Amino acid sequence: MAKAAKTAIKTKDQKAAAEAKNWTKVIKAVRSPKSGAYTFKEAIVHKDKIKEFLGEK
């Protein structure tokens, strides 16, 4: 059963699947200035923009 679903996803739209591989989910730990506790900021970013996302404050 899993093989059939996996095959269907691959053959549905190969161009869209290839473009989807260029995106990455990035999770960044951000420290709160008030309490000092960490929170997590997450975003789906294009692979070329990862360093910019991690570099911003």
Tell me the pLDDT tens digit for each residue of 5-54: 555 556 667 787 778 889 999 999 999 999 999 999 999 999 999 999 99
Q: How many Cα neighbours within 13 Å face the side chain of 14?
A: 2
What is the pLDDT, as a whole number, of residue 57?
72
Show the tokens assigned to 24.
């990455």
Domain for residue 4, yes or no? no
pLDDT-based confidence at residue 4 (cuts at 50, 70, 90): low
Domain for residue 7, yes or no? no
Q: How many domains does the chain have?
A: 1
Tell me the pLDDT tens digit for each residue of 10-20: 666 778 777 88
- CB contact at 8 A, 22 and 49: no
Domain for residue 23, yes or no? yes
Domain for residue 24, yes or no? yes
Domain for residue 8, yes or no? no
Domain for residue 6, yes or no? no
What is the pLDDT, as a whole number, of residue 28?
94
User: Among residues 51, 52, 50, 54, which one has the least CA distance to residue 40?
Assistant: 54
What is the pLDDT, as a whole number, of residue 45?
94
